[in-house]
Amino acid sequence: MKRQCTRRMIAYAIATLLVLALTFACVAACGSFDIGHGDKTELTDGTISSVDSAYTSKSSVYTSSESLLSSDHHALKSSFISHLSSDRETTKTSKSSKDDRTTAKSTGRTSPTTCSQEFPPTTTTASTTRSEFIDVTVFVECRNAVKHHAFKDKIEWMIVNGYCDADGLMFEDTVRLKRGETVFDALVKTELQVLYRTTIFSKYVYEINRLREKDCSQSRSGWVYLVNDAFGQVSSDAWILNDNDRVHWGYTIVEGDVK
């Protein structure tokens, strides 16, 4: 709007300057012609022509100036009407949005909104962290001693005192260990009576539930262990167990009789 006002002022100034310039030109052309003082000087045809030309030029300039001002006026008016219409539309839209929010609030309903931000789908993955505990099956028996005649009195005493049953079974159950524990730890968790010797390198089990190695004068008798049906090649406190392993402790009299 400031630019359009400036254009109008410039147009008026140009028109005024042109009128003044033409007026001075007419006065110069007329010479001694002085209407203001009532001179009766006779005008020549050339002088009249010059005056007519000057008047015509003045009229054309004034007409051009008027048309320019008129066009500026119409442009300014159109711009003002356009801005006014835009403001009314904006006000109407704002009022409509406010009315919608007020209606939704009063009725307890909200209109659905669309969120352009997309979130990645949530996925559930199984935990790969291993448990700190493992479960192993422990089986302890002295079946060979039950079947051997040299152990008859000893086995009868053990059965009476609850150290084993008539089949030589001492323990069979699942025990829970911490990951990293050994065959020896599994035997101790059975809560059987376990006696062992500790050396520089290992622990050696020599008695379980009152049945000792070399008992009843059997020099080669003693306790051995298997893990998953494989004989242990290291001491029982060096064999680290895994989840679901099966540990078998058996009393041997003759080599290879524990299976």
pLDDT score of 171 more than 80: yes
Q: Which fold has domain 133-252?
A: Ferric Hydroxamate Uptake Protein; Chain A, domain 1 (2.170.130)
Whole-model pTM: value is 0.52
Buried b (16+ CB within 10 A) or exposed e, 26-48: beeebeeeeeeeeeeeeeeeebe
pLDDT band at 55 (very low <50, low <70, confident <90, very high): very low
Domain ranges of the chain: 2-35+42-107, 133-252
C-alpha–C-alpha distance, residues 164 and 146, integer Å: 10
pLDDT score of 32 more than 50: no
C-alpha–C-alpha distance, residues 227 and 210, integer Å: 23
pLDDT at 167: 96
